[in-house]
């Protein structure tokens, strides 16, 4: 099975965890796209009723609205029952790198107010240690070249996330710098160091954030319980 088929499998499977009446956090990315398609279908068929979606990107908001899913602003709900999102890497101890799609800041804010977080991934995303996937860091544009230079001096091998010839802009109009670290020995220490650098708004290190993971495999979806 190719990677897209596994993404579709896990995306569809995750909709089984969405019950009528829930407030659901809708993540971002190609795996989540399959989940939102299936959710929209079940809403249209009346199988899932009265759900409210809170999205982690403008992209997902448009897709969900087009499918007839009710979307509310995060500040217009007092909690989120379950957030379903993708991930770029998940280590043996269920720590994650996210932000490959550039939505890490809203994704972390939505995860923070969610009672439960589920990640949906194909099996290629499971790794022993984090770091082969470049770690995204969201920076405000003002003074961002200085942040980039500091990251370079620290040996973190930064590159600008590009969108054609222009620097990629997040939904908050920020830039993303990707750090090519290879292997991250101490994700918590790195997250603490980066978040304290002035100009960095958020990092793609999602530590102790996930409850359950659904992994798409050729043998069918597997559920892993993190905590
Ligand atoms: C977007 C993300 C995505 O969830 C992550 O990049 C996985 O994406 P995909 O399902 O397309 O592989 O963090 O910011």
Report pLDDT digits (tens) over 86-135.
999 999 999 999 999 999 999 999 999 999 999 999 999 999 999 999 99
Atom 8 in ligand 1: residue holding the nearest Cα? 29
- Each residue of 147-206: pLDDT tens digit? 999 999 999 999 999 999 999 999 999 999 999 999 999 999 999 999 999 999 999 999
pLDDT averaged over every residue in the chain: 97
The structural domains of the chain, ordered by start, are 3-126+207-217 (3.40.50.1360), 135-204 (3.30.70.260)
Cα(170) to ligand 1 centroid in Å equals 14
Concerning whether 107 is annotated as a catalytic residue, the answer is yes
What pLDDT band is residue 1 in, cutting at 50, 70 and 90? confident
Closest CA to 142 of 164, 163, 165, 173: 173
Statement: the pTM of the whole predicted model exceeds 0.95: yes
Q: Which residues line ligand 1 at a C-beta cut-off of 6 Å?
A: 27-31, 85-88, 98-104, 107
């Amino acid at each position: 099975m190719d990677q897209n088929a596994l993404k579709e499998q896990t995306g569809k499977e995750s909709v089984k965890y969405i019950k009528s009446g829930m407030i659901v956090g809708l993540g971002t990315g190609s795996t989540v796209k399959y989940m939102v398609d299936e959710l929209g279908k079940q809403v249209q068929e009346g199988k899932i009723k009265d759900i409210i979606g809170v999205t982690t990107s403008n992209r997902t908001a448009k897709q969900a609205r087009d499918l007839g899913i009710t979307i509310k602003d995060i500040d217009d709900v007092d909690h989120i029952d379950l957030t379903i999102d993708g991930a770029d890497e998940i280590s043996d101890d269920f720590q994650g790198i996210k932000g490959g799609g550039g939505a890490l800041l809203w994704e972390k804010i939505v995860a923070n107010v969610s009672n439960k977080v589920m990640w949906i991934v194909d099996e290629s995303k499971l790794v022993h240690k984090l770091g082969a996937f470049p770690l995204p860091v969201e920076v405000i544009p003002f003074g961002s070249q200085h942040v980039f230079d500091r990251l370079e001096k620290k040996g973190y091998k930064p590159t600008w996330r590009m969108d054609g010839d222009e620097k990629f802009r997040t939904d908050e109009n920020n830039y993303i710098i990707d750090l090519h670290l290879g292997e991250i020995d101490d994700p918590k220490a790195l997250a603490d160091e980066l978040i304290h650098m002035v100009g960095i708004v958020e990092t793609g290190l999602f530590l102790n954030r996930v409850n359950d993971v659904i992994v798409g495999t050729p043998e069918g979806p597997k559920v892993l319980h993190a905590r």
